[in-house]
Structure 1
Amino acid sequence: MRASGSAAGQSSEQTIELEGRVIAFTLRRSSRRSIGFTISRTGLAVTAPRRVSERDIRRALVTKAGWILTKLDAWAARPAAPDLVLETGASLPWLGGELTLELRGEGVRTTVRREGDQLVLKHDPDLAGELRTRTLTKALQRFYKREGEALMTPRVEAYADQLGKPVRKVIIREQKRRWGSCASDATIRLNWRLMGFPEDLIDYVCAHEAAHLVEANHSPAYWRVVERLMPDWKPRRQRMREEADRWVAF
């Protein structure tokens, strides 16, 4: 799972040769105390303290080369998340289950609403080509974001209340590399794609980010905070790592 540290800093795209392979990675600077490595379907991401030189970062990458290459290969072998099919009858993941998409070419406004196990998307029947794809995709994203805000905001706030820490704001947004993040100003950002996941895993991400209100890093002290909120966090985290692709919407 991609989990957050502290506030996001500037990032850059770089490459390094590890055991004869050229590996691309994203380097992001932050206020964290140590260098962190995260690998997902989008590749390798490195988060490093602002004071650490690029030379030291590259040394750390070489030291972790075996682990990095093994993880990258494992991700490459996993099946890709399904492409979005914009046709009536297509399935979209929803809270660990599925909704069936129904397209209705009527009216001029693009709207999305849930009707039981169906997701009804009304659109201008004259839409075609790339404009149609972009318009319908954005409408579905807005639906997931709207529902995500309604579901996840109170859960984050409830975990924060347990810790006695206020949340400045919860933002549901597009995040390709992270499921969630917690900034130093107590703003928590969550990926709208989480709405495809079972609710117990959504809860895990909400608790994970709320715990960063107390501990900004992933130290042993941080994981003790997580355990206070969720004693069974370990199997949930493992499921996130192993099965996340099953529930990614698009």
Structure 2
Amino acid sequence: MSDQIIELAGREVRFSLRRSARRTIGFTISRDGLAVAAPRQASEREIRRALETKSGWILAKLDAWATRPAAPELVLESGAILPWLGGELTLNLRGEGVRTIVRREDDSLVLKHDPDLAGELRTRTLTRALQRFYKREGAALMTPKVEAYARQLGKPVRKVIVRDQKRRWGSCASDATIRLNWRLMGFPEDLIDYVCAHEAAHLVEANHSPAYWRVVESLMPDWKPRRQRMRDEADRWVVF
């Protein structure tokens, strides 16, 4: 991964470049900016030509993202709202005991912690506890989904890992390991299904070619509106 700069229509645009075994040059635009994925053999000239060809679309998307409100930051106090499967959980902090424990109680997420925690240590401890909860619950929900889609395709899954991913909702490695972002647990379950199907389809086609999207459609005929909803709802997530 490398960071680069290009001038498009008189504007300086920064982008991250990642090379892989893919066959085509692809673009992703998010709150983090422009990300370019290119084949390992693609020259710098080819990549820049592709960017220039899509300059109108790229600049329009960057401008659209610039006007979207930033995701809210989580305040680590009781009453804070956490997205959960398209709905919400209310954070309930309880300063009791010395162990940090997180569990669901109806529409609340109870987080027990050492009452003597303070400052940066408190923030780090509570944040990590919440992330562990989302990862654990994410693995329990999403692993069977990925495996079911893989069975439909007749392909094995080596492992499903739910972890922190800043730029992606999911990825599929060449060894059939699928990684999913724990933040997906904030989305409605039908959108989680879309991401699981999306990554399972990479077990058949490694890139995003027309053949790949036909595999996705075989698993999920209505994938297009689901993908659009994923993009529209991306800012539901609080930052932590």
Q: Name the TM-score class by shorter chain.
A: over 0.9
Deviation at 1:53? 1.3
Displacement of 1:96 after TM fit? 0.3
| Aligned mate of 2:79, from 86, 89, 92 | 89
Alignment partner for residue 51 of structure 1, among 16, 29, 41? Answer: 41
CA shift, 1:224, in A, is 1.1
Q: Name the structure 1 match of 2:231.
A: 241
The SS at the match of 1:100 is: strand
Equivalent residue number for residue 166 of structure 1: 156
Aligned residue among 190, 197, 203 for 1:200: 190
The residue aligned with 1:220 is: 210
Q: Which residue in the other structure is 2:12 paired with?
A: 22
1:47-70 deviations in whole A, cap 9, x for unaligned? 111111112212221221111111
Between 57-66 and 92-101, the greater mean CA deviation after superposition: 57-66
Query: Which residue, out of 145, 152, 160, partners 1:155?
Result: 145
**Counterpart position of 2:2:** 12
Report the equivalent of 1:5.
none
Aligned mates of 1:71, 1:57 — CA distance in 2:
19
Deviation, 1:104, is 0.6
The answer to whether the 8 Å contact 1:182/1:213 transfers is: yes
Distance, in Å, in 2 between the alignment partners of 1:249 and 1:143 is: 15
Q: How does 1:75-114 map to 2 (within 5 A)?
A: 75-114=65-104
1:77 offset after TM fit, Å? 0.9
Deviation at 1:40, TM superposition (A): 0.7
Give deviations 1:119-158, integer Å, cap 9, x for gaps.
Answer: 0111111111111111111110010000000000000000
Aligned length: 240
SS of alignment partner, residue 23 of structure 2? coil
Q: Which runs of 5+ in 2 are unaligned?
A: none
Root mean square deviation, CA, Å: 1.1
TM-score by length of 1: 0.93
**Matching residue of 1:135:** 125
Match of 1:157, as an amino acid? E
Q: Quote the sequence identity (%).
A: 85
Partner of 1:3: none
Q: Secondary structure at the match of 2:190?
A: helix
CA apart distance, 1:248: 5.3
Encode CA deviations 1:14-53: one digit per residue, 9 max, x unaligned.
1112222221111001000111111011111001111111
Match of 2:167 in 1: 177
- The whole-number CA distance in structure 1 between the counterparts of 2:46 and 2:213 is 27
1:32 matched to which residue of 2?
A: 22
Q: Give, in whole Å, the separation in 1 of the partners of 2:3 and 2:89.
A: 37
Deviation at 1:169, TM superposition (A): 0.5
Change (3 A) 1:249 1:207: farther
Partner of 1:146: 136
Q: Give the Cα separation in 2 of the matches to 1:124 and 1:133.
A: 12
**In the alignment, is residue 186 of structure 1 matched against residue 176 of structure 2?**
yes
After TM superposition, the runs of 4+ consecutive aligned structure 1 residues lying more than 6 A away are none
Tell me how far 1:246 sits from its aligned partner.
2.0
Aligned to 2:52: 62
Tell me if structure 2 keeps the 8 A contact 1:94–1:247.
Answer: no
Q: How many Å separate the matches in 2 of 1:218 and 1:60? A: 16
The answer to whether the 8 A contact 2:94-2:111 is kept is yes
